[in-house]
Structure 1
């Protein structure tokens, strides 16, 4: 009696996919793989970051500016951060600049997905008047975060919390991005991944610098 010969074609598709995912998980590459898939989603343009409508309206903008003058305390006042060189920085030292604050982690696929477009945005508008704060909430320590950033060759400024997290920056999602005005007020908040390298976001940031 002839025995049936085993063939790879006999392996069910679900088993192959489960095996591939198992290998990715064991090697720690599953986060990267999911992030790449989500990056393709961003490339379709259906997840572009929202530009606040209120601040496109001149009258509303004037009201926002008046409120900022009335209350001069900066969002996140008292919060301390540490950069990848180990230097401690007070968040409120950024007052007077437009701040692009992104809260992320190395284990977060949506964070990984949106980082390339944030790097592109930083290359276009990053300056002494527009500060980028890529704030990692990883618990694995600075070495893990620095290794990730170096491997990806990102050049935007990366920080980790060095004090209690401000109530203003709490969110139910990660990543979450805040845009803070030179007066220290949160003028935009985006929960979840988005594409920030768009003409609308670039114009929004640059217009705040001119105000």
Structure 2
């Protein structure tokens, strides 16, 4: 008679790992789990956002100011967004402020990973000088997005596209973040997740807003 009994120790490690991810996938928790791992990666500081030197931006701002007085040359001009409150907002209405534009989705683990540090940055910025646009590209309506934001307790402004997506904001990666000057020019672009609540990014945004 075979006296060998079943033991979890006899299960290969790869099978256990596959089973755990299978359960997470079936329960819809895989995105959160992967996002949490990537959040730990961000905390190490090896994925800090890259921003240019503020003096490089300042040298071109004066030249660009006259070009954007009508808003015609502003990045995203003509684009409309709808907020969680159902109100439609014209992107060019943000002209005159620094715009922190983050393109994300609820199904995107890197997006979820970087959101806490973006929210932390948002709470440190002057809303009269720096406008945050968390632009969701989720399909299926606002309900899923609003449920996600409410669950997380985020208070930054969240929108969804309400018109054709501007060509200037196309990217091969998600998340992608754009920083737009008060003159309406894209001055920084970050593809993929990053840590934004850093001294360098805060000083960059504050310097643009002066």
Shift in CA distance, 126/158, structure 1 to aligned 2, threshold 3 Å: farther
Structure 1 window deviating more from structure 2 (69-78 vs 175-184): it is: 69-78
Q: Map of 1:153-192 to 2, 5 A cutoff?
A: 153-192=153-192
Task: Give me the whole-angstrom Cα distance separating, in 1, the residues matched to 2:60 and 2:80.
Answer: 30
Instruction: Name 1:56's counterpart in structure 2.
Output: 55
- Contact 1:103-1:177 within 8 A present in 2 as well: yes
Question: Secondary structure of 1:179's match?
Answer: strand
Give the superposition deviation at 1:207. 0.9
Match of 2:143 in 1: 143
User: RMSD of the alignment, in Å?
Assistant: 1.2
TM-score computed with the length of structure 1 as normaliser: 0.94
Q: Distance in 2 between matches of 1:71 and 1:130?
A: 18
Q: Kindly tell me the number of residue pairs found equivalent between the two proteins.
A: 207
User: What does residue 67 of structure 2 align with?
Assistant: 70
How do 1:90-129 residues align onto structure 2 when only pairs under 5 Å count?
Answer: 90-129=90-129
For the residue of structure 2 that corresponds to 1:183, the secondary structure is coil
| Greater Cα shift, 123-132 or 15-24 | 123-132
**Residue 16 in structure 1 maps to residue 13 in structure 2:** no
- SS of the counterpart of 2:194? coil
* 1:56 positional shift: 3.2
**Residue-by-residue CA offset, 1:25-75 (whole Å, 9 max, x unaligned):** 00111011010000111001010011113x334xx6223431343354211
> Take 2:55 and 2:14, find their aligned partners in 1: how far apart are those partners?
50
Distance 1:98 1:86 in 2: 23
The answer (yes or no) to whether the contact 1:126–1:132 under 8 Å persists in 2 is no
* SS of corresponding position for 1:17: helix
**Unaligned runs of at least 5 residues, structure 2:** none
SS in 1 for 2:165: coil
Residue aligning to 1:196? 196
Give TM-score, length-normalised by structure 2. 0.95
SS of 1:197's partner is: coil
Question: How far has the Cα of 1:2 moved from its partner?
Answer: 4.2
Aligned to 1:131: 131
Contact 2:64 2:183 in 1 (8 A): no
Report the CA distance between 1:168 and its aligned residue. 0.3
